[in-house]
Structure 1
Amino acid sequence: MDQADIPALLSRLASDEDASRKMAVFKLQSSINDPSFADVFISSGGLVILRRLIMGAGGNTLAYSLQSLSRLLEVDMGWDVFEGPTSGDLVERIVELIVTNPLVNILRGAMSILVALVSHSQSETSSTASTPGTFGFRALKPAIAVYPQFFELVIQKLQSADHALCATTLMLINALIRDAVSNETSPSHHSGRVGGTGEEWPKFIKRLQDLGLIKAVYNLMQSAALQDLAHPLLEFQSLTKVLLKRWRDVKVDLERPDHRRALKGIHLASAPTRDYMNGSGRTDDTPESVKKSSKRHHPEKWRRLGFETENPANEFDTAGFLGMMDLTDFIRKNEDGFQKLLLEQSTRPLHERCPIARASLAVTLTLFEHFDCEHSEMEDLRGYQLSDGKHQDKLFRPLLLQWSRLHTAALHAFFRLWKTTAAEQHDFEKVAELVRILVDQVVGQAGRAKDVVDVEEDLVEYDLGRLRELQMELLGFSFEDQWGHHLYKVRESLNQEAITFVKEQRVRCLLQGTWFSKPARKENRGEYQNRRGTDGTLWRYAKLSHNRRYLHYADFALRTSSEPGLDALGERVDLRTISSVVSNVSAPNGDSTAESTLTGPPSSRHSTKITINSYVNPEDARKGVPTSGKEYELLTLYPLNHSVASEWLDGLLMLLDQAPITAETNKLVNLVKDYGLKIRLLNVRMEATYMGPPVGAGVVPSREGLDDNYYYTI
């Protein structure tokens, strides 16, 4: 619309005919977000007319009027409408519409205006920032006093089927939370009251949470409407981190009544006996001298609950009031279990008791670190803008909104790990590290749509063996980063040690001796004789000599219960004459580590055999005939199962200084090597993982000031 048409537009806006006003304000909403147009519109008195429409119109005329004002505020113009003695009436009218009007198009416009009104107090460019009481929550407070159900109805709007209304509603909630936190008075004031709500900001946040805010946003974050609500959801997620950080930064101060009551509640919930009560029976009328004399309490009053000292307030320094909130919440929701746990721990020696309070604080800090609550609140939103569709889904962390339930589940996992590993007090940090790995694995790998109930079950029931494997993998990665070169040398050394160890084990199998089968003689069309081999024997026994130079063997008709000695083995193979060892060793079904055991007598199923070859033909050697350079088969062995085949094939190869080839032996080598590495890693202090080499390591000392006058003392 051209600026020259503004007078005619204003005339139609002020018309007594509703149809004329509706058409005019419909056109106005599409042009008013042009700053040059808006400037002329305001200077021509249009703001007064627009306000009059909002105060008295209804239906679509009202919806278009609200939308026009919202777009005017978006270009940072028209703020004068909220100044002066009548500004409160306009705000009350908008709040009234949100509370009483069911039409979505009116609600969207009203919500948008309140978003701008609340957010304007946080704008650095606000020209009226020096006039308190105009913007922010202060501007809404009188109207909310008239409509106290305002917050409840706003949160209900988050369940609307209209995604645009949901997004605008969440933007309003975000603006209110940001205003509450950003307008907090200075920390020197113990009241901690915020500049708009007239109450402490934690109480304001709790008020919203009690109305179902967390559940509503959690459902939105897991819904299919994620793309339409992405920006306000990510802003709410960032604000949640801000709040968690604020709570952590609040120091526990026993001078504050609420902190003192919380700590006292923790103690009373433990069902202490009379011996543990502090000054029981005192009243306000009790003489001061009696009060002082009764201040002496049981020496383990707080240690009994899992604190390190009898001054628990100091132990919240790192986790802050957030740690106290989590501990209090856990005890409040699990009071019976908490008391039973304390009774169970009291029956154990002091050094074996699980420190419940310390464990709770450790879990709080683990969750705080996992969700990266220290990071800038805008990083999630920036990451969403820069990422593609495949990775955007991972930026949403609905489980962050289930902080309390995650804390409880992870704390129960801590207790389980403590009991299962038979940990003691000096193992506390090790158990805390396992819990950190558990949280990273379960919570970190959970998809956006995974229900919190499933996550709770996974935390409490996670396989401990797998958890230890993850710990060793992570420890290995850490050492790779810090000690990669040194770790490579260690692995090389361990590999040689493992091969030597496995070679000795395989050779000992040969020294012990083993029964092998012999294939039966072929008869009609592939059928086999069941009781006799080709020469009347069914079994073959082989054994390595003690000097490891000869492989002795003999054939037998029956397999005896006692192992034949070397004197009973009439044939032998000189290992020095072996040219190659060939086999078709393979596991059934393609599984290289599987075992196929033949329980009955040998039959036609001889799928595995080991063939020992030589360039020396035994008959030619006896006759003195020179070698022809052709390989001859000296001995064929048919192992009874895959494990025996692996032992003998690789044992013979390693005796000939060749590398093992079966998967079973290589798996054993890797197993021995990995255990050796883990033992070395576990013998290194954890802090050494991150410290790197000491300062000056590897530096060649200077010879400055030295001469060649030196000698050796013998």
Structure 2
Amino acid sequence: MDNITELIERLSHEEDAVRKMAVFKLQSNIGDPSFAEVFISQGGLLKLRNLALTASGNTLAYSLTSFSRLLELDKGWEYVNQELIGRVVELIVTHPLVNILRGAMSILVSIVSHPHSSNRTSQPPQVPQSFTFHHGFNPQMSTPGPFGFRALRPAIAAHPQFLEMLVSRLSSADHALCANSLQLINSLMRDAITNEADNEWPRFIKRLQDLGVIKAVFILMQSSALQDLAHPLLEFQALTKVLLRKWRDVKVDLEKKEHRIALKGLHLASAPNKSSQDAKASGSKRHHPEKWRRLGFETESPAWEFGDVGFLGMMDFTDFVRKHEDGFQKVILEQVAKPSEQRCPIARASLAITNILFQQFEVDKSELDDAKAYQILESRTNFERAFRPLLLQWSRLHTASLWAFFRLWKETSATSDDFDKVYELMRVLIHKVVGLAPRTKEVQDVEDEIAEFDFQSLRNLQMELLEQSYESVWGSHLRQVRDELKIEALQFVKEQRIRCLLRGEWFPINTDGEGRSGRKTRGGDDGATTHTELRETHRETKKSSTDPYLNWRFVKLSHNRRYLHYTDFEAESAVSPNLDDLTEKIDLSTVSSVVSNVIPASARSSSSTTTLTQTGTNPNHLPPSRMSSTKITIHGYPIDATPETAKEVVLLTLNPHNHSMASEWLDGLLMLLNQQPITAETAKLVNVVTGYGLKIRLLNVRYTENRYESDGHGGNGPEMPGRTGVDDDYYYDLFV
């Protein structure tokens, strides 16, 4: 107690050094509520206030810091008056020392944020706990005295450069000063939004924006000093959402003068005279019958169409028109020249973009939800997820997205019935480019990416996101459906591959190291004979197959799918031979394996010409272009061989023209033997069929929306046939 009394006496000592040391000790102890109670009860507050009004240098800095800490304890308000406020405002405007500016700004933050009611039993303001802690007041306690922005107005009137200086402090190299400046700006904004009249707060916000507060905060959000400024920056982000919600909640009302002026400005900016030459030539002064629909509204009473986005939608649209008036007029003229159903509704598109951005940034989240982010920040992690600097570039994002909407409308040849489809594509585009953008991504890069994103990539991304959303909701059910569809797709592809074999195909005979009938030359090894040589009933065919003029082999699967028929010919003919013309055949029950150097799906990503283990690697190390990559070899056992003497031999060799044919025949043969397909082409086809089946189930696409849209039926399906002249036993099969 004696120490406090002595300290108070030194606050009014004649020597500045003594006062400076006393107030220096005071600033480190005044935050203790019990110390503060004794300090005030012994008259120390009056002396501290006098120092704040008259001192200079470090003595003044310590005095301001001590006074601000008292206010944070909700004490000392009886000594806050216009004289003190005027002194603090003057210091902020004129004083260069950082330590003095910090204390001065802290005092103003407490004053602006002080509760507005002297009734202690009244409902406290709904302010997140994290905000109130950093603003330095307890919403459960309130006392009479100056409060809010209005308490600063007389002092600001005497120093009109106050706001400009305050914003300029945001670019200071001292992070603590930046934080204090932004805290004060936040306090002023919150008070103006909460307590000012409807026609006052927009003016104040616009003035701050004109002074460059958005640009300054955007730079801070992308800077490396984010951790030091985390709390005030996150609060500014939350206040930006409050502003957007407040503008959204203002209904467009033509009874209000500013709303009528804004809407009229849209009409005049569209250059209505350029598209109404007939009316001008006739001298008619009547309004164009499509005055507002020409701009892309649905009706001639546009006010109600702003219902979902309110005056925020009006602001976005007028801002776009004001900054791109020539482009706006050009788009209007282009659309007017088209049939009504093909016109892009410009106004509806603008309002839709506003709505998408509103949802993308989760503007409807309450401040209490945003305050949870403070818990994340306490760990000094997840900064990238918490901060959304692109939110501050709302206008530029809206403009870039609206141009992208026009481009997508044109690229997709959309009509009025397709508006919702283009809307969903834009939602995906904005989520991809804006929603997933890292914190440090420049807004110019975002604009360029929005402008350059191609339609096909966007459509693929939309389907991926759709699958992911269903995956997250239905999880195991969706996986089960996918597995079932894959089995169905595999059966479908199997049938397609086998039908290629049933159709038959011509294969060139490779003369390098190959017998004409498929016999492989092995330096006189008679054990490596073909199935043809083991059948005496076909000796003549074998002899003829060695004729040097026989260069083609036709191979075809029998209708019962049990035999593979083939014969060698001199030349390929346009008409495929019948089964009766094919003198050789292989019983598929004797086939032991089918091997090939066709690249399998598992090795497709490799750049090497990897082959199956049965065929080995390239022995001559030839480049891929110099070696056959599509040879298929069928191995098996002679029909008349006994189990004791059975020896696997080459039954037939095929040399397909290309990889596609090789894939069909190799996997077709494997599937006939109840083995799994191995080529990349077949795997891709199975995945495509599975994917389309899954998408059709997810989208619940009807045949009228998919099969017939491109056939000139307008998406309404084929014309239903009548039953005139048809008896009761006849029916129509509409699906092939």
TM-score bracket for this pair, using the shorter chain length: 0.7 to 0.9
**Structure 2 counterpart of 1:269:** 269
- 1:254 is displaced (CA, Å) by 1.1
Matched letter for residue 6 of structure 2: A
SS at match of 2:498: helix
Tell me the alpha carbon deviations over residues 278-307 of structure 1, each in whole angstroms, 9 at most, x when there is no partner: x99xxxxxxxxxxxx98x733211111011
Tell me the alpha carbon deviations over residues 134-177 of structure 1, each in whole angstroms, 9 at most, x when there is no partner: 11111100000000010001000000000000001000000011
SS at match of 2:553: strand
SS at match of 2:152: helix
**Structure 1 counterpart of 2:531:** none
**Structure 1 counterpart of 2:390:** 399
Which of 470-479 and 144-153 deviates more?
A: 470-479
Tell me the alpha carbon deviations over residues 664-693 of structure 1, each in whole angstroms, 9 at most, x when there is no partner: 2011111122223334444449xxxxxxxx
CA contact (8 A) 2:600 2:679 kept: no
For 1:8-157, list aligned pairs within 5 A. Answer: 8-82=6-80, 87-121=81-115, 124=124, 131=144, 134-157=146-169
1:612 aligns with 2:624: no
Q: Percent identity?
A: 61
CA distance in 2, matches of 1:386, 1:666: 45
**Structure 2 counterpart of 1:167:** 179
CA contact (8 A) 1:519 1:604 kept: no
- 1:653 is displaced (CA, Å) by 1.5
Which of 572-581 and 310-319 deviates more?
A: 572-581
Matched letter for residue 103 of structure 2: G
- 1:271 is displaced (CA, Å) by 1.0
1:552 aligns with 2:565: yes
CA distance in 2, matches of 1:165, 1:304: 52
Aligned CA distance change for structure 1 residues 228 and 534 (closer, same or farther; 3 Å): farther
Which of 315-324 and 461-470 deviates more?
A: 461-470
- 1:613 is displaced (CA, Å) by 2.6
CA contact (8 A) 2:602 2:680 kept: no
Which of 218-227 and 371-380 deviates more?
A: 371-380
CA contact (8 A) 1:617 1:627 kept: no
For 1:249-288, list aligned pairs within 5 A. Answer: 249-273=249-273
CA contact (8 A) 2:227 2:380 kept: no
CA distance in 2, matches of 1:604, 1:339: 61
For 1:264-663, list aligned pairs within 5 A. Answer: 264-273=264-273, 297-386=287-376, 388-480=379-471, 491=482, 494-510=485-501, 511-515=504-508, 517-520=510-513, 541-545=553-557, 547=559, 548-554=561-567, 565=577, 570-586=583-599, 590-591=603-604, 605-606=627-628, 609-614=631-636, 616-618=637-639, 620=640, 631-639=648-656, 641-663=658-680
Aligned CA distance change for structure 1 residues 269 and 452 (closer, same or farther; 3 Å): same
CA distance in 2, matches of 1:439, 1:301: 31
- 1:572 is displaced (CA, Å) by 2.4
**Structure 2 counterpart of 1:690:** none
- 1:389 is displaced (CA, Å) by 4.3
CA distance in 2, matches of 1:15, 1:487: 81
Tell me the alpha carbon deviations over residues 509-554 of structure 1, each in whole angstroms, 9 at most, x when there is no partner: 3323333535337999xxxxxxxx9996895624114524432345
CA distance in 2, matches of 1:626, 1:96: 109
CA distance in 1, matches of 2:143, 2:699: 62
**Structure 2 counterpart of 1:283:** none
Tell me the alpha carbon deviations over residues 350-403 of structure 1, each in whole angstroms, 9 at most, x when there is no partner: 000000000000000100000001112243342242365442222100000000
- 1:128 is displaced (CA, Å) by 8.5
SS at match of 1:447: coil
Aligned CA distance change for structure 1 residues 56 and 269 (closer, same or farther; 3 Å): same
Structure 1 gap segments, 5+ residues each: 186-191, 194-199, 281-292, 525-532, 686-714
CA contact (8 A) 2:601 2:679 kept: no
CA distance in 1, matches of 2:509, 2:74: 92
CA distance in 2, matches of 1:356, 1:670: 40
SS at match of 2:423: helix
Matched letter for residue 26 of structure 1: F
Matched letter for residue 4 of structure 2: I
CA distance in 2, matches of 1:595, 1:647: 22
**Structure 1 counterpart of 2:539:** none
CA distance in 2, matches of 1:501, 1:67: 79
CA distance in 2, matches of 1:634, 1:664: 26
Tell me the alpha carbon deviations over residues 628-683 of structure 1, each in whole angstroms, 9 at most, x when there is no partner: 56544322334454333322110112233433222220111111222233344444
- 1:442 is displaced (CA, Å) by 0.6
Aligned CA distance change for structure 1 residues 590 and 509 (closer, same or farther; 3 Å): same
Aligned CA distance change for structure 1 residues 381 and 535 (closer, same or farther; 3 Å): farther
CA contact (8 A) 1:581 1:649 kept: yes
Aligned CA distance change for structure 1 residues 373 and 588 (closer, same or farther; 3 Å): closer
* TM-score, length basis structure 1: 0.82
CA distance in 2, matches of 1:12, 1:662: 92
CA contact (8 A) 2:72 2:110 kept: yes
CA contact (8 A) 1:583 1:649 kept: yes
Aligned CA distance change for structure 1 residues 479 and 401 (closer, same or farther; 3 Å): same
RMSD: 3.4
* TM-score, length basis structure 2: 0.80
CA contact (8 A) 2:506 2:572 kept: no
CA distance in 2, matches of 1:89, 1:626: 115
CA distance in 1, matches of 2:428, 2:343: 22
CA distance in 1, matches of 2:4, 2:557: 112
Aligned residues, how many?
A: 637
Aligned CA distance change for structure 1 residues 589 and 483 (closer, same or farther; 3 Å): closer
Aligned CA distance change for structure 1 residues 343 and 604 (closer, same or farther; 3 Å): closer
CA distance in 1, matches of 2:437, 2:202: 29
CA distance in 2, matches of 1:219, 1:543: 72
Matched letter for residue 40 of structure 2: I
- 1:228 is displaced (CA, Å) by 0.1
Aligned CA distance change for structure 1 residues 592 and 91 (closer, same or farther; 3 Å): closer
Aligned CA distance change for structure 1 residues 650 and 55 (closer, same or farther; 3 Å): same
CA contact (8 A) 2:167 2:212 kept: yes
Matched letter for residue 439 of structure 2: R
**Structure 2 counterpart of 1:238:** 238
CA contact (8 A) 2:149 2:191 kept: yes
